Every structure is written in structure tokens, then in C-alpha cells.
Amino acid sequence: MYQTSLALPRGPCDHAARRLALGAALLASAAVLAFSPGPAWADGFTLGLRYDLAAGAGAVSIAAADFNNDGHVDLVVANRGGTTVSVFLGLGGGRFGTRSDYTVGAAPAAVAIADFNGEGRLDIATANGSGNSVSVLLGNGAGGFGARTD
């Protein structure tokens, strides 16, 4: 089994995301648990509904951001068992649309989100376990991504 990593969203987002979205990637699926903080962060949290999203083979890393600027949290999952990342655009209320897969280098083990080229749109980068490479997918601002650059 591979180690799983997680990145939580920052900035303004929909009501479900304000309660925070906690994601966990497990083998070939991504489980998303919505939780609400208690009266104080130190007091713990209350679990909400669980949604299982079918990602690609060997999902090992997940990150959340708003790729299409609609105010809803979107997810990206690195699929170490292949050469893809899976993107799930948020629909609001803790729900996600159908996955879109994008090709990256072999055995992506970690995923990161940032505006790597400074044009104001979020991009995806993966650290690839085979070939010792990093792949970058430039975002189009509408939730889609261009071809990879290694």
C-alpha cells in the first residue's frame, strides 16, 4: 500500500467547503468526508456524509482547490497505478461531477496545485515515481487542463 497525502482548500468557497472538505485517497477510490468544526478547533469535529469517488488505479494523493472559479471546491487525485490524475469538479453541497483524467508521467505519487506560470489560473503538478520526473498541467480557468509538460 502506498502512503496517502492530503491538501485542504484555502480561500472562499461554498457552504460545504466552509465546513471543510477532508479527503482520503484509498487504492482505486477517493473517499471524501465533510466535517464541521466543533465550538473550538481543539474540541474536535462532527463527521458529515461520506462520498466515494471512483478515481484511477492506485490513488495515492489528493488536493483540493477551485479550478473553475465557481466557488465550489474541486479535487485532483494522483493515480500511482498508471499515468493519470483524476479531476472532479465540485457541484456544491459536497457533491462532485464525473471525473476527467489527464495524462502525466508514469506512477504519479504526489500532486500539488498552484499558478505555476503566473497567468491567474490554477495548474497541477505531479511528482512521478517512475522516470524521476515532474509533470505540469496548465489550467484553462474553466476546470480543464492542457497537455502535460515534463
Tell me the pLDDT tens digit for each residue of 111-138. Answer: 999 999 999 999 999 999 988 899 999 9
What gap in Å lies between CA 36 and CA 18, rounded to an integer?
8
Q: Cα dist. 116→18, 32, 35, 38, 66 in Å?
A: 26, 26, 30, 36, 15
User: Which three cell numbers, joined as nine digits, stand for 87?
Assistant: 479531476
pLDDT at 89 over 50: yes
pLDDT at 68 over 70: yes
pTM for the full predicted model: 0.74
Tell me the pLDDT tens digit for each residue of 20-66. Answer: 343 333 333 455 544 444 444 444 545 566 667 888 888 888 999 99
**Counting beta carbons within 10 angstroms of the beta carbon of residue 108, is it exposed (0 to 12), middle (13 to 18) or buried (19 or more)?**
buried
More confident residue, 80 or 21: 80
pLDDT at 9 over 90: no
| Helix or strand holding residue 139 (H, E) | none
